[in-house]
Structures are given as C-alpha cells and as structure tokens.
C-alpha cells in the first residue's frame, strides 16, 4: 500500500545561485518556469558552469513524493526518463530517498532537466528542457500501483502536452475506478492563465484536494481577496490548500476555513516550497492527522525548505518534532 502515488514530469534539477545580471544576459523572466530546447539549456548550463551547483531528482510531483518519503510515508512515482546518465541518476536518487519507481526507460532521446537559477532575493527562475519526460503516456501508468494508493497526486504541468495530459487523465480515471482520492496542484500561474477553463473542468469533475498558491487562486477565480478565493474554490472541490508564502496558508474542509500561520524564517531559496508544503500536507492527512494539523506541519516544512538551498530537507523532522506539531 502507498500513501501517495505521484505522476509528473521526471526532471533532474540543477540548482545554482546567480546574480540578477545572469538572468538579464540570458533574457529570461525572473521567478517563473520557462520551457527551453536542448541548445538553450546548454547555453544556460555553460553560463553557470563555474558556479557551485547541486543536482537532484526533481520536477514538481517528484519533489512532493520525495517529501512524503522524507517524513516516513510510503510513496511511489510515475514518470519517464531515458537510458542515459541523467535518467539513471534520476532513478537512483528517487530510490535512495525511499520512493518506489519502476518505469520503462525510453531507448532514444535524452532525460529531462531543469536549470534552477536562484537569485539573492530567494527567487527561483526555472529553465526546463522536458526531454523524454514529455513522452509519458497512458501505458506508463500502472493500474496496480494506483489501486494500492490512498491518494494519486498529479502536477498541472502535465496538462501542457497531449501525451502527458492523457497519462494524467488515465491516472485520474484509474483512481476513480478504485476509489482512490485525487490531489492536484495548479503548478504555475502561467499554466492557470493558459488553461483556466480546462482546469475548472478538471477540478469540478475529478479533484478531491486542490493545492494552489495565492496568484494561481486569484487567476482561477478572478477574485482579489485570498479568503474569497479559497471559499470560491471550495464550492468546486471538497478540500483546498491555498498557500500564502510567508503568511502561511488557508485550508478548507467541510465548509470550514482554517488559517494556518506562517513560520518566520530567513528565506534563501524558494525552490520546492510549494512542493514541500504539498508533500507534508499529504503525509499528514494519510497518516492520521487532521487538516489543521497537516497544514501546521506543512507550514513548518515549507519554512524549513526555503531556509536552505535545494528542494531536499537538509535536516529532516524527527518523530518527536512531528508529534509536537500535532498538539
């Protein structure tokens, strides 16, 4: 049995700290995800070649699934990589973190990667080359793994490609067939702006738990007040976790809105903050916590992850710390 099975774009994250001048030289928009081709990705990596770098298995859903495993949860992941060094690294890194992952490797192409450029204000700018992760299709989705899960977690980025969208919908279809709950993350404001109507249909018809940040919520609902956004989203989906950055989050369940306080910290790198929040929250609700308790754990986890470099916890939560946060 799994607490959560994640479905997403399998990417190896390459994280490095850069001055703002590098973003200007590369002519990329700060703070968002931009898709790039092989040549553009190589230009970026060459630009930062002499800067200290960190590499780990990544992608939005993969980060969340690893977070669940870091808390001691049972997790599996479905994504596509190639039979190359990057793909082998992705698989080994996920397995080393305790995540179950068995995928058919693509025989051609290259595995996906994401250059994560972190500026001094803790903003992360992501330049993503999807590679073979974009070829994930419905046949890659293992029905037996879905059947054994409490939740299936799907990243919104999958909706940007026909093949990956079909894989996402197959996972959701199988979840519904086996009475498995569906959690979905809006992923990025640009995605909401591009696919708003499609997202609403998905949320209305299939999603049990929606994760989004304030900007995504405002774009989805057309409302300016975050509390009104949460209430409007809750009219369409049973459970909502709306993150507010340093201000914490709003959680809605059974018509009740709970404000989860933010945890003060010195932000160094916002990479994976939302992914970590989702992972801690999903771990909590699949391991006996109330929504409020899970939200509190998620708030502390997100604060800890932005206080360090990278999307993996340098200092994991101990069982005693988790128990204390449930009080």
Tell me the pLDDT tens digit for each residue of 54-74.
Answer: 888 989 999 999 999 999 999
Q: What is the chain's mean pLDDT, rounded?
A: 93
Residue 311 pLDDT > 80, yes or no?
no
Q: What is the per-residue pLDDT for 129?
A: 93
Count Cβ atoms below 10 Å from residue 23 Cβ, excluding itself: 18
Q: What is the per-residue pLDDT for 122?
A: 82
Residue 266 in tokens: 């010195």
Count Cβ atoms below 10 Å from residue 267 Cβ, excluding itself: 16
pTM of the model: 0.92
Residue 252 pLDDT > 90, yes or no?
yes
Quick one: what percent of the chain has pLDDT higher than 90? 73
- Of 43-47, 174-178, 276-280, the poorest mean pLDDT is in 43-47
* Mean pLDDT confidence for 27-39: 87
Give 178's pLDDT tier (boundaries 50, 70, 90): very high
Domain extent listing, the chain: 2-10+59-108+131-325
Q: What is the per-residue pLDDT for 92?
A: 95
* Mean pLDDT confidence for 213-221: 96
| Partners of 35 in the β-ladder | 128
Q: What is the per-residue pLDDT for 11?
A: 94
* Mean pLDDT confidence for 182-201: 93
Give 9's pLDDT tier (boundaries 50, 70, 90): very high
Give the Cα separation of 182 and 4 in Å (integer).
10
Tell me the residue ranges of DSSP E strands in the chain: 2-7, 11-17, 33-35, 53-58, 75-78, 112-118, 124-129, 149-155, 181-185, 209-213, 239-243, 249-253, 256-260
Q: What is the per-residue pLDDT for 48?
A: 83
pLDDT tens digit sequence for 272-307: 889 999 999 999 999 999 999 999 999 999 999 988
Residue 182 pLDDT > 80, yes or no?
yes
Count Cβ atoms below 10 Å from residue 140 Cβ, excluding itself: 18
pLDDT tens digit sequence for 134-171: 999 999 999 999 999 999 999 999 999 999 999 999 99
* Mean pLDDT confidence for 193-215: 95
Q: What is the per-residue pLDDT for 38?
A: 86
Residue 131 pLDDT > 90, yes or no?
yes
Q: What is the per-residue pLDDT for 270?
A: 77
The CATH code of the domain at 2-10+59-108+131-325 is 3.40.1190.20
Q: What is the per-residue pLDDT for 200?
A: 96
Q: What is the per-residue pLDDT for 282?
A: 98
- The pair phi, psi for residue 77, each rounded to 5°, is -140, 140
DSSP class of residue 84 equals S
Residue 126 pLDDT > 90, yes or no?
no
Residue 111 pLDDT > 90, yes or no?
yes
Give the Cα separation of 201 and 223 in Å (integer).
18
* Mean pLDDT confidence for 37-52: 85
> Which residues are designated catalytic?
275
């Amino acid at each position: 049995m799994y607490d959560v099975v994640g479905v997403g774009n399998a990417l190896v994250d390459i994280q490095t700290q850069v001055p703002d001048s590098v973003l200007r030289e590369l002519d990329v928009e700060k703070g968002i995800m931009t898709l790039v081709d092989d040549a553009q990705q190589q230009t970026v990596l060459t630009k930062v070649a002499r800067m200290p770098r960190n590499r780990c298995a990544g992608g939005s859903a993969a980060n969340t699934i690893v977070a669940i495993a870091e808390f001691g949860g049972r997790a599996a992941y479905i994504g596509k990589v190639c039979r190359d060094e990057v793909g082998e690294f992705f698989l080994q890194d996920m397995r080393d973190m305790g995540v179950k992952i068995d995928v058919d490797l693509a025989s051609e192409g290259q595995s996906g990667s994401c250059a994560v450029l972190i500026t001094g204000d803790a903003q992360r700018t992501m330049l993503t080359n999807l590679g073979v992760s974009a070829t994930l299709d419905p046949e890659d989705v293992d029905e037996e793994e879905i059947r054994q899960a409490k939740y299936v977690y799907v990243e919104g980025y999958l909706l940007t490609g026909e093949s990956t969208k079909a894989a996402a919908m197959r996972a959701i279809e199988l979840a519904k067939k086996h009475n498995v709950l569906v959690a979905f993350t809006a992923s990025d404001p640009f995605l909401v702006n591009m696919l708003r109507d499609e997202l609403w249909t998905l949320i209305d018809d299939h999603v049990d738990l929606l994760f989004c940040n304030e900007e995504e919520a405002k774009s989805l609902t057309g409302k300016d007040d975050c509390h009104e956004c949460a209430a409007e989203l809750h009219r369409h989906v049973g459970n909502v976790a709306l993150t507010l950055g340093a201000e914490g989050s709003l959680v809605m369940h059974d018509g009740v809105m709970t404000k989860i306080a933010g945890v003060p910290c010195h932000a160094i790198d916002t990479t994976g903050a939302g992914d970590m929040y989702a992972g801690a929250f999903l771990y909590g609700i699949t391991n006996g916590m109330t929504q409020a308790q899970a939200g509190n754990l998620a708030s502390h986890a997100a604060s800890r992850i932005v206080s360090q470099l990278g999307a993996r916890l340098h200092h994991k939560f101990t069982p005693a710390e988790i128990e204390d946060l449930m009080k």
